[in-house]
Structure 1
Amino acid sequence: MYCLQAALVTESARGELLDSVDGARFVSLGHQLSLMPLSEALLEAGEFWTALAECSEHGAVAYVEAEYFGGAGTQSAQVWDGGERVLGPLHLAEGEAAPAGGSPISQALRRLGVVKGDHFDEFDAVGLGRHRDTRDWLLV
């Protein structure tokens, strides 16, 4: 099983989000990006979504989630920049083929400046497959 719920933050917005979210922890992904693993409690807090939009005044910020089991699953993503939502919400349902532009998370990463290079896609380029569960990112 693979499960990810995270905010992806450009380095220019990282400090703002760190100041806005109690207990925020970040993991560097390279590509001038950091990943902030999210808990259910944080996601249910209404101010979290406002914090993402406000922090995007300093650089692009994305919310991404994915859940897969045995190759089947779902993905969602949104991106804020300049205080406004600029992408999404995008959702790829179980059994649905990824659009020509890539999966929701790859589209969000591209919007944050990631270039896939020799990798399969942007998801692979930043190593989002390194851990199978959101909580495992906190152990890094």
Structure 2
Amino acid sequence: MGYLYRGILCSIEIKDQYKNRYKNIKMIPLNNDLLTIPMSDELYDEINEFKGTSFDNYEYLTDKIGLLCEELSMICRTAFIEAEYFGGVGSQNSMVWDNQKVIFHETLTEHAINRALKLLGVNSDNNKDEFDTVGLGRHRFVEDWINDENHH
């Protein structure tokens, strides 16, 4: 079975300030007072205005999305994550900002997302890793997150 996700992770405290910033933004609460903003194709196009430049090894992290993460990081640590797996084979990418500076960057590894979540203050519990502790396994595909009924 596959897993495909790309999006922003940050504190739920940004919700009210950013919920109307983009027409296509969806903010879904996670455990540990975090939320995720799934990067749909529509949100990607809206943020990039059809002219963003991608970071190496990332499919969806562009300079313009990086600027948004940098801005969010003035309020709270912010991560952009990508994961793609099929049949147990795949990789993860993550970048974390704090106070407008990149403090962590890891691509094409198996644990990049858990390391980013630790930097966001997540402590794993009950024999789960950080990924499962916050609930990122709740859906397996970006589209399912976008259609999550708990979005703001």
Query: Which amino acid is the alignment partner of residue 93 of structure 2?
Result: S
Paired amino acid for 1:31: N
Partner of 1:121: 129
More moved, 14-23 vs 52-61: 14-23
Query: 1:13, 1:59 → 2: CA distance?
Result: 8
AA at the equivalent of 1:110: K
Helix, strand or coil for the counterpart of 1:117?
A: coil
SS at match of 1:6: strand
Whether 2:115 is the aligned partner of 1:104: answer no
CA distance in 1, matches of 2:78, 2:14: 7
In structure 2, the partner of 1:49 is 66
- Structure 1 segments, 4+ long, off by >6 Å, are none
Q: TM-score, normalised by structure 1?
A: 0.83
> Which amino acid is the alignment partner of residue 27 of structure 1?
I
CA contact (8 A) 2:114 2:130 kept: yes
Aligned to 2:38: 37
2:19 and 2:26 mapped to 1: Cα distance? 8
Query: Shift of the alpha carbon at 1:41?
Result: 4.9
Offset at residue 104 of structure 1 (A): 0.3
Cα deviation, residue 83, structure 1: 1.3
Unaligned residue ranges in structure 1 (runs of 5+): none
Structure 2 counterparts to residues 27-106 of structure 1, below 5 A: 27-43=28-44, 45=48, 46=52, 47-88=64-105, 90-93=106-109, 98=110, 103-106=111-114
TM-score by length of structure 2 reads: 0.77
